[in-house]
Structures are given as structure tokens and as C-alpha cells.
Amino acid sequence: MLRIRLRREGAKAQPVYRIVVAEREHPRDGRFIEIVGEYNPRTEPTYVKVDEARALHHLKNGAQPSEAVERLLKSTGTLERLERFRKGEPLETLVTEANTAASARFFNMKTRRDDTVGMASKGKTNKKAKAKEGS
């Protein structure tokens, strides 16, 4: 059975996710069939980009989204477009609607924690940075 789920990428304490279609039995960051989107929770607002045509194709053919991906697809309107597609609306119309909606949103790709990039995670301090501040 195919699942649409998140695949974690990025550095330690700086996650970035890809939305992928994979077999249910494969590991989270293991083998996948296709990348259908991106998700960055660290930006303000969060960045979500979905290839509507491919996502609708896999959903139409029975792929099940994970809970997290289902929330993301709801927020982008993909699940609503899937219902309209099942009722008979043409795919091309839905994809162009999704592309215009995505281009209308402006994303500031600056992350919320850019001031802490390069610092050790979990509250530990960088000794060199402290030494520079003290002198």
C-alpha cells in the first residue's frame, strides 16, 4: 500500500521535510517512489509546496496520506480539490487554480531561529561566541 508521508532532511535541530510517496513498509527516510512536495516548518509562515498534479494522481489511485501530510494537504486545499476532481471537474482546471493560489502566497524564507544557526542545540552555548562577547 502506498503512503504519502514526510521524509526528514536538514541538519540537526533544523528539520526540512519532503512530501514523498513510498511503500508503507519502507523506513521513514528510506526508499520512496516520488517526491510530490516540500515542507519547511521553520519559516514564518510555514512553507508548503505541493505538486498538485502528482499528488492528485497518487491520491486518486489509492495512496493514503499520513496524519501530518493530511493536515498539510488540507491547509493547501489539495484535499478539497481532490473531492472536486472525483465529482468530475477537469484536472487541468484544478492544477491551474492550485498554481495561482500558491503563487499568490508570499513566503519569507528566513527561518524563525536564524540567530541561533551554528550554535549547539538544546540550550548549550558556543564557547567561542561567549569568549568574543566577553572581550
Among 60, 68, 14, 13, which residue's Cα sits nearest to residue 37? 68
**Is the distance from CB of 91 to CB of 53 less than 8 angstroms?**
yes
What is the layout of strands, in order, in the sheet containing 64-65? 47-50, 34-40, 14-23, 2-11, 64-65
| Average pLDDT score over residue span 97-126 | 63
Strand 47-50 relative to strand 34-40: parallel, antiparallel, unpaired? Answer: antiparallel
Give 132's pLDDT tier (boundaries 50, 70, 90): low
Architecture in CATH of 2-134: 2-Layer Sandwich (3.30)
Give the per-residue pLDDT at 28.
87
Give 128's pLDDT tier (boundaries 50, 70, 90): low
How many angstroms from the chain centroid is the CA of residue 1?
Answer: 21
Give the per-residue pLDDT at 89.
87
d(C-alpha 38, C-alpha 55), whole Å: 12
| Average pLDDT score over residue span 56-68 | 93
| Average pLDDT score over residue span 94-99 | 84
How do the domains of the chain map onto residue ranges? 2-134
